[in-house]
A and B are shown apart, each in its own frame.
Chain A
Amino acid sequence: MFPRSFEYVAPADLAEAAEALASAEFAKVMSGGMSLIPMMKLRLLSPDLVVDIGRIPGLDQIEDRGDAIAIGALVRHAQTAASDAVPAALRTAAAWTGDAQVRNRGTTVGSVAHADIAADQPAAVLALGATMVARSASGTREIAAADFFVDALTTALEPGEILAEIRIPKAGGGSAYEKLGRRGGHTDYAVAGAAAWVQRSNGSISDCRVALTGVGTKPTLAEGVAEALIGTDGSPAAVEAAAARATEGVTLLEDLYGSEEYKAHLAKVMTARALTQAIADA
């Protein structure tokens, strides 16, 4: 089983990559290839041109930029999972992505750009309030994570744009990610997952974001949870009450792994667990 024929280029820098991307009718960007190659093998996708950014130097770094942590387009899941500079929610989501071989090749930025509805790291970048940095032949554009995930496998990226970097604000506070994997425990895609970020001041929760994955048509912010939790003392009772609102405004999606009812239940359970850890970490 192999893909349809395609042209292949391995540009030396992002400017050249953006130019190549704009040159073909249907071009796709490849970083690690862990999502793209299976889709091409199954012939769900048959691009005319694959732009392999995997050889571009300098993109494989996690950098502290003072007010943000910048994750380059070639930072592998394993690197994200092992980095102390990365907030716990994203570190954990990366550690629970795929398996060892996938984490050795697949990239955090690639997973976010692919936007699978049950992937782990999109939820984490949403909860952490990240900024997406898109590069195209006409320049650079910043997109808030909250505006990035449009629908299943669909993001705000335009056809000629490459997701070059994800910036996570160094806002302090605590974060966590919890999930039930399709193969049980934390293994495989999420049947349901929740990422949480909280900030505390003077004994109460001053800010909070929770994002869900696996349960709906796209990675989604659970805004009702944040609304319910902010201003409380973050006690177990407050967490339970907030988590009860996890699926407010979320379009639930039944799949092979669970009914809408089951997904809604798991969303609340994972939200409560993630919040509890994030509060302890804050």
Chain B
Amino acid sequence: MNVNGEPVSADVEPRTLLVHFLRDDLGLTGTHIGCETSYCGACTVIVDGRTVKSCTMLAVQADGSDVTTIEGLAADGELHPVQEGFWERHGLQCGYCTPGMIMSAVGLLTENPNPSEEEIRHGIEGNICRCTGYHNIVRAIEYAAAKMRGEAPAPAEWEEVTA
């Protein structure tokens, strides 16, 4: 398979989950393991252009696929617009859900470049965050969506509060 544009090859047991292959065999520990039961989305990566939960996919199912992990998003030292959005709009606190949340946001914006707030909230319903209450994550994704459309993002809420 290709991981972040690099061809990789290995013999694995059929029961090896994609997330373990990425983390343990390839050392790409940016993809997190959260709930282990397909609920939390911390392990989200992109396989052949679609978001998947890598704890619920066998590595052998990804044989021959193109896989993108959080490590593969930034290019030439520049953050991906979604990463920049999470930075600029404080879309994280502890950071555990963040890689999966960012990959889901990338998947969402690929399919829908101009999502409403409701569409963003539904788009990330497969990703659970226990810190933020999601509010700033939604703002971060709105920021990224604007950037990716070539528009200026709306100012941060804390900048609007000037009386």
A contact residues vs B (CB 8 Å cutoff) = 1-8, 10, 33-34, 37-38, 40-42, 50, 52, 54, 78, 98-102, 104-105, 183, 187
Contact = CB atoms under 8 A, between A and B. Distances in A.
A38 B124 CA distance: 20
Given A5-B13, A99-B127, 12 more contacts: A1-B36, A2-B20, A6-B14, A8-B60, A41-B56, A99-B41, A100-B51, A101-B104, A102-B38, A102-B126, A104-B52, A104-B107
B123 interface: yes
Contact of B37 (A42, A105, A187): A42
15 contacts: A2-B15, A2-B16, A2-B17, A5-B15, A8-B60, A33-B56, A37-B17, A41-B36, A98-B126, A100-B51, A100-B107, A100-B123, A104-B52, A104-B107, A105-B57
B33 to A, nearest CB: 9
Given A10-B60, A33-B57, A37-B57, A101 B41 contact: yes
Contact size range, B: 20 to 34
A100 B108 contact: yes
- At the interface, is chain B mostly helix, strand, loop or mixed? mixed
Contact of A101 (B20, B36, B51): B51
A20 B57 CA distance: 21
A126 B50 CA distance: 30
A188 to B, nearest CB: 8
B18 to A, nearest CB: 10
Contacts of A8: 14, 58, 60
Interface in B66-103: none
B50 to A, nearest CB: 4
Contacts of B41: 99, 101
Contacts of A10: 60
A180 to B, nearest CB: 15
B117 interface: no
